[in-house]
Structure 1
Amino acid sequence: MSCKGCSTSVIVSTQEIEKLVEEQLLLEDDLVTDDLFKERLEHCKQCPSLMYDTTCGHCGCFVQFRAKLAYKSCPYPGGAKW
């Protein structure tokens, strides 16, 4: 897999991504409920712009991170999906 902003090849396991997201979320205060988080992720899973089952093709964020943040929205062009 390669990073959205570069051509460097990145090999990261799902477990490593989950750990990274979990660590970063510890630094955040404004989080959505677990139910809303799951709903947002379902939209992401159905999105044709989801890359590698983890990354938003529009902003480059790990969807598990962005979907948990209350102050973020879906960056889908032409209208957010959540």
Structure 2
Amino acid sequence: MATSSCKGCREEYKVTEEQIQRILASSAFAPERCVPDEIYEQRLELCRSCPKLQDGTTCLVCGCIIPVVAKLKERECALPGQSRWGAYHEEAV
């Protein structure tokens, strides 16, 4: 059985939808720290079209769990030199 050199690629390290929802429900995601739902959905859609998104959750550029970081105002797309979130980030701040 071949194993991946990337920890995040192995089944035992994959983040479930339940885990993501539990994180988003935590106090760290107070409304004043989060982008509006419309901006959140736009960010997610932009990431879904990115070739650097792995398994629908993980950014291969920064290693972040996109459904989590896309919710936060202070976060930006980590794609070097070409943020996919662009104007969406500035509208939300």
Q: TM-score range by the shorter chain?
A: 0.7 to 0.9
Measure the CA separation in 2 of the matches of 1:46 and 1:11. 20
Kindly indicate which of the two structures has a greater share of residues assigned to helix: 2
Among residues 2, 7, 31, which one is paired with 1:2 in the alignment?
Answer: 7
Give the TM-score normalised by the residue count of structure 1. Answer: 0.77
Unaligned segments of structure 2, at least 5 residues: 1-5, 86-93
Give the TM-score normalised by the residue count of structure 2. Answer: 0.69
Unaligned segments of structure 1, at least 5 residues: none
Query: How many corresponding residue pairs?
Result: 78
Measure the CA separation in 2 of the matches of 1:55 and 1:62. 5
Measure the CA separation in 2 of the matches of 1:71 and 1:81. 15
Q: After the TM superposition, which segments of 4 or more aligned residues of structure 1 sit over 2 Å from their partners?
A: 1-4, 11-23
Identity %: 31
